[in-house]
Amino acid sequence: MTNEIMAELRKDYIYNLMIKGEREDGRAFDQYRELTIDTNVIDKAEGSARVKLGDTHLVVGVKIQTGTPFPDTPDQGVIITNLELIPLASPVFEAGPPREDAIELARVVDRGIRESQAIDLSKLCITPGEKVWMVFIDVHVLDDGGNIMDAASLGAVAALLTAKLPNKRFDLGDDVNVPMRDVPVSVTAVEIGGSIMLDPSLDEQSIAGTRLTVTSNQEGNISAMQKSGVYPLTTEQINYIVDIAIEKAKEIREKFLVI
Amino acid sequence: MDKKLVLPGEFISDDVERAGEGTFVDDGKVFSSVFGVASLKNQIKVVPLSGKYIPKSGDLILGIIKEITFSNWIVDIRSPYDGLLHISEYPRRIENTEMSRYLNVGDAIMTLVVDVDVNMKVELTLNDQRLRPVKDGRIVDVTPSKVPRFIGRSGSMIAMLKNETHCNIFIGQNGRIWITGKDRDMDLAVKAIKKIEKETHVSGLTDRITKFLKEIKGENVIEKEPDKEEKLRTEEKTEEEKTEMEKSGGILDELLGDEK
Amino acid sequence: MSKPEKLIENGIRLDGRRPDELRPIKIKVGVLNRADGSCYFEFGRNKVIAAVYGPREVHPRHQQKSTSAVVRYRYNMASFSVEERKRPGPDRRSIEVSKVSREALEPVIFQEYFPRSAIDIFVEVLQADAGTRTAGINAASIALADAGIPMKSLVSSCAVGKVDDTLVLDLFKDEDNYGQCDMPIAMTPDGNITLIQMDGHLTRDEFTEGLEMAKKGCLAIHELQKAALIEKYNSQLEGEVNDK
C-alpha cells in the first residue's frame, strides 16, 4: 500500500498556523482533544475499555489466564502487551504480523505499566514456580486519527482498572480485582518548527519530525519515555515536554482514571 | 415527490427508457444501484451519498503529485486510478532531469483529464491556458458526488460563495476545492464549504449558506422564511439544473469567466 | 460450562427466545472516520465492526483484474473476543470464513464498474458468541452501501440449527456448542442464496424447513439493515437543522 500523499499546501497551512500560535482545530498547544473512556465494553474479556481521543478510536481487551512463570521470576505474574494496526483502521495499515510501528507502540504501553509497577505482580502468583496469572493486554485500533500512543496506554490502564482475576473459572475462589497500585499516564508531544504540541492530530503527526512520549506515575515520577522520529530534540525541549507531560498526566488521571 | 432517498436494489420506476446514472435495469424495471437520492424528473438517476471520483475525459480537476518517473508525473486525483501527466503535457519544454524542479511530490495542479482508456489509464494535461500549478491558497476535499451542489443552479452557489467571502474558488470535479484569498476570508470560505458538505441534502441550501456567512461576518440578515412549498420547488429546480450544468461543463464556464 | 440437560424447555430456549426468534440486533452506520464506509453490528452478544475501503488501487498489482474490481474480505477476531484468548492473526478458520463471506457479497457488487481496482472489506469481531460470520456479512453489506459502492441489493445473513431435535433460528453460543446442527446462510432480499454452509445432522425435511426459517430471518434482518441506513441519513439531516 502506498503512503498517503499530503499536499505541500496543506503542510504549509498547518505550519503557518503554528507560527501564529494556532492549531487547525482551535486547540491550545497543550490541550488534548475530546477524550471519552468507556469501560466493560467487552464482557468476554476480563477487563476492557473503549477510548475515543478526537478521531482516534480503539478498544483494549484484557484477557487473564493461568500459565507458567518465567524461571527468573518464579513468584511473579506475567504481562504481555500486544497492539495491532489492522487495515480496518486506516488506508495505510496493512494486514499481517505487527511491523515496527505497532511493536514500538505496544512496547511503550507495556513499559509504562511494567515500570510504574502499576500491577503488583507478586499478587499474581498462584503456586510459586508453577502457576501464575498471565495478563494479556490487547490493543485493537479501529480508527487512526493520530496519537494512538496515548489512546492505547489510557485504554490499557482503564481496562486494567476494571479487570478481574477470573478465580472462579479456574476453581480458585471468587473473582477479585487485578491488584493495581499505580496509574501510569502517557503524554505525547510533537515538535513542529520549534514549537511543542501535545496530543497531535493525524496531520500534525505526519508533519512533525519527531514525537516524545513521557509516561509518569501517581507520584509524578517518570516511568517510561520514548522518542520516535528522525529529528533531534534539544535538552530544553525535552525538559519542557517532561514538565508539561507530568502536569498533564495528573490532570488526565484525576479526571478519567480513578482507582 | 420527485426526489427520494433510495437504497441499493430499491425499485424506482417501470420506465426503463429514462434509466440513468446510479440505476440498473432488471426484468423491465429500474432499480437504484446505490444508497443515495433519486431524482425522477427527466432522466431517472441516483446521486450517491458517498463514493470515489471516477475520472472522465473533459473533467477539470485538482491533482497532487505523488511520484515522478522517467517521463511522467504520477498524480493523485482522489480516485482508484492515478492520473499520468506526461512531460510533454507541461506548458513548456523541460528536460527529464529537471521535472522535480517544476513539479515536485506534494505539489498541487489544476489539470484537465484528456483521456481515460479502457484500462483506466488516465491522461492529464497542463497544456492549456486555464491550467496551472497551484502554488498558494488552500485545498479542501469534499465528497465528489456533491460537487454539483457546490456549484449550484447556474453556478449560483459558487458565485455567492465568492461574493460573500471575497475569495477565488475553483471546484474540481474530483471534489477538491481550491481557495485563494486573504487568510481570514479563506477561513470563512472553508467554514462555508464544510457546512455545504454536511448539509447537502437540506432544502434551501444556498439561502442557508448565505445567511450563515452573513451572520459570521456580523452583517444584519433580513429574516425571510419562504414557505415550505416554495423551498421544495427551488430545490427540485436545482437538481434539474444540475444535470444541465454537468453536461454543459458549467465549471469550465465558471473558470473561463474568472480568467477574463 | 458443561452441556445443559435441556436446550429447549416448553418451547422456550435457554436465552428465553422462541425457536424462530432472532437475537436482539443493534446497528450503527458510519462509525469510522478513515474508512469509506463502516458499520457496527450487534447480534445478541456478538459485536462486530465492518469497514470498506475502495474502490482503490490494488496492491500487490498482480491481483488486479483488467475488467472488474477485485473484492477482498478479511474476517478477523480480536484476541479478547472469545473466552480463551485467541492468538492474533489469521488461522485456517478465519481464512475460510473470509472466503465464503466474500463470495456471499460478490454477486451483488457491480464489480465491472471499476476495472483494475480493489474493494476491501474488513470485518473485526470484537466479541464472539456464535454467528460471527453472519453478523460480519450483515455489517459488511451495510458498510458497502455506506461507502457508495454500487450494488444490486443488500445481503442479509443468519443461521439456523437444531437443538433437542427442534429447529431453531440464530444459534447462540451454548446452542452452537451442544446443538445437533449449524447452518448459516446469506441471501439477497429476492431470495437468492449467496452463502450456505452446514455441519451436523438434519433430515431431508428438516433441511427444507430450516432453510425457510433462515430465509425469514434474513428478510427480518434486511428490514433492520435498511432502517439503519435511513436512520443515518435522517440523523444527519436532523443534526444539521438543530445546530443551525
Q: In angstroms, how far is the first alpha carbon of chain A from the final one? A: 42
Q: Specify the pLDDT at position C141.
A: 98
pLDDT at B255 > cutoff 60:
no
Lowest mean pLDDT among C54-63, C111-120, C195-204: C54-63
Query: Residue B180: is its pLDDT beyond 90?
Result: yes
Per-position DSSP letters for B48-107, written without gaps between them = ESS------TT-EEEEEEEEE-SSEEEEE-SSSS-EEEEGGGSSS---GGGHHHHS-TT-
Question: Cα A158 from chain centroid?
Answer: 10
Which of A42, A51, A88 is the mutation pick for testing C, counting most C CBs within 10 A?
A: A88
DSSP A209: S
Q: Is a pLDDT exceeding 80 seen at residue B221?
A: no
Q: Give the side-chain half-sphere CA count within 13 A for A254.
A: 8
pLDDT at B254 over 60: no
**pLDDT value at C153 more than 80:** yes
| A3 domain residue, yes or no | no
Q: What is the mean pLDDT of residues B59-88?
A: 96
Determine the pLDDT at residue C237: 74
CB C107 within 8 A of CB C192: yes
Grid cell, residue B45, equals 438517476
Mean pLDDT of all residues in B70-78:
96
Q: What is the pLDDT of residue A143?
A: 98
Residues of A in contact with C82 (CB under 8 A): 44
pLDDT of residue B35: 97
CATH tag, B138-259: 3.30.1370.10
Q: List chain B domain ranges.
A: 3-48, 60-134, 138-259
**What is the pLDDT, as a whole number, of residue A180?**
95
Residue B65 scores a pLDDT above 60? yes
HSE on the CB side for A108, CA within 13 Å?
A: 29
Q: What is the overall mean pLDDT for chain C?
A: 94
CA atoms of B106 and B67, how far apart (whole Å): 9
pLDDT of residue B172: 96
Mean pLDDT, range C150-179, rounded to an integer:
96
All partners of chain B with 3 or more CB pairs under 8 angstroms: A, C
Inter-chain touch B34–C147, beta carbons under 8 Å: no
Identify the CATH number of the domain defined by range B3-48. Answer: 2.40.50.100
Considering only residues B34 and B237, tell me which one the structure prediction assigns the higher pLDDT.
B34
Q: Where are the beta strands (DSSP E) in chain C?
A: 8-9, 12-13, 25-29, 37-43, 46-57, 70-77, 117-127, 156-163, 166-169, 181-187, 193-196, 199-200
How many separate domains does chain A show?
Answer: 1
Residue A119 has which C-alpha cell?
Answer: 500491577
Per-residue model confidence (pLDDT) at position B1: 54
Inter-chain touch B137–A9, beta carbons under 8 Å:
yes
- Smallest Cβ distance to A61: which of C32, C35, C80? C80
Rounded Cα distance, A99 and A94, in Å: 9
Distant-in-sequence, close-in-space partners of C203: CB < 8 Å, separation ≥ 6:
none
Our measurement of the distance from residue B105's CA atom to the centroid of its chain's CA atoms, rounded to an integer in Å, reads 24
Residues of A whose CB is below 8 A from C59: 1-2
User: Does B204 score more than 90 pLDDT?
Assistant: no
Range of the domain at A92: 8-256
A2 lies in a domain? no
pLDDT confidence of B203, banded at 50, 70, 90?
A: confident
The CATH number for B60-134, chosen from 3.30.1380.10, 3.40.190.150, 2.40.50.140, 2.60.120.10, is: 2.40.50.140
Residues of A within 8 A of B134 (CB-CB) are 9
pLDDT tens readout for residues B104-114: 999 999 999 99
pLDDT digits (tens, 9 = 90+) for A136-154: 999 999 999 999 999 999 9
SS3 state of residue A250: helix
The C-alpha atoms of residue C5 and residue C13 are separated, in whole angstroms, by 12
Q: C-alpha angle with apex C199: C195 to C201, nearest 5 degrees?
A: 125
Q: Computed from CA positions of residues B198, B204, B205, B207, in that sequence, does the dihedral angle turn out positive or negative?
A: negative
Alpha helices in chain B (DSSP H): 99-102, 147-151, 156-165, 183-199, 205-217, 228-248, 250-259
Residues A201-212: what's their mean pLDDT?
A: 92
Task: Give residue B241's pLDDT.
Answer: 42
Q: Is A13 close to B138, i.e. CB distance below 8 A?
A: yes
**Any residues with CB less than 8 A from the CB of B116 and at least 6 apart, and which?**
B55, B56, B57, B81, B122, B123
C171-183: pLDDT as tens digits = 999 999 999 999 9
In this predicted structure, which of A44-48, B147-151, B238-242 has the lowest mean pLDDT? B238-242
Task: Determine the average pLDDT of the residues in A119-131.
Answer: 95
Residue of C nearest to A92 (CA): C34
Instruction: Report the amino acid identity of residue A164.
Output: K
CA A31 from centre of chain: 17
Helix (H) or strand (E) holding C143: helix C132-146
CATH of the domain at A127: 3.30.230.70
Q: Decide if C152 and B34 are in contact by the 8 Å CB cutoff.
A: no
pLDDT at site C218: 98
How far is the CA of B2 from the CAs of A55, B42, C164, C235, in angstroms?
37, 10, 54, 22
Numbered residues of chain A with Cβ closer than 8 Å to any chain C Cβ? 1-2, 42-45, 48, 55, 57, 59, 61-63, 65, 82, 84, 86-91, 95, 97, 136, 138, 140, 142-145
Over range B132-149, report the average pLDDT: 93
pLDDT, residue C187, reads 98
Mean of the per-residue pLDDT values for chain B?
A: 85
Please state the φ and ψ torsions of residue C11, each to the nearest 5 degrees: 75, 10
For residue A199, tell me if it sits in a domain. yes
pLDDT grade for B248, boundaries at 50, 70 and 90? very low
Q: Give this prediction's pTM.
A: 0.92
Give the pLDDT confidence score for residue C238 in this predicted structure: 66
Question: Which segments of B103-204 does DSSP mark as H helices, in order?
Answer: 147-151, 156-165, 183-199
First to last CA, chain C: 54
Beta carbons of C152 and B7 less than 8 Å apart: no
Determine the angle formed by the axes of helices B183-199 and C204-242, rounding to 10 degrees: 140
**pLDDT of amino acid C3:** 81
Mean pLDDT, rounded, for A62-69:
96
pLDDT of residue B216: 85
Cell numbers linked to C143? 458498510
Stretch 11-70 of chain A: residues touching chain B, C-beta under 8 Å: 11, 13
Q: Which residue has the cell 502468583?
A: A125
Give the span between the Cα atoms of C125 and C147, in whole angstroms. 20
Q: Is position A1 within any domain? A: no
Q: Identify whether the C-beta of residue C141 lies closer than 8 Å to the C-beta of residue C156.
A: yes
Binding-site residues on chain B for chain A (CB distance < 8 A) = 64-66, 76, 104-108, 134, 136-139
Give the model's pLDDT for residue C240.
52
User: Confidence band (pLDDT; 50, 70, 90) for B230?
Assistant: very low
Rounded CA Rg of chain A = 19
CB contacts of A86 in chain C (<8 Å) are 76, 122, 124
For residue C69 the three cell numbers come to 474490481
Tell whether A148 is covered by a domain. Answer: yes
pLDDT tier for residue A2 given thresholds of 50, 70 and 90: very low
Q: Alpha-carbon distance B239 to C181, whole Å?
A: 53
ipTM of the complex: 0.93
**Phi-psi sector, C165: left (phi>0), alpha (psi -120 to 50), beta:** left
From A107-121, A163-177, B12-26, B224-238, the region with the lowest mean pLDDT: B224-238
| pLDDT on residue B222 | 54
Assess whether the previous peptide bond of C60 is cis (omega < 30° from 0). yes
pLDDT > 90? residue A227: yes
Q: Is C115 helix (H, G, I), strand (E, B) or coil?
A: coil
What is the rounded CA–CA span in Å between residue B9 and residue B145?
19
pLDDT at C244 over 60: no
Q: B236 or A173: whose pLDDT is higher?
A: A173
Q: Find the range with the poorest average confidence among A57-71, A75-89, B61-75, B205-219.
A: B205-219
Residue C1 has what pLDDT? 58
Q: State the pLDDT confidence band at A39, using cuts at 50, 70 and 90.
A: very high
Bridge partner list, A138: A61, A82
Does the fold of domain B138-259 match that of domain B60-134? no
In chain C the domains, ranked by start, together with CATH numbers, are 14-242 (3.30.230.70)
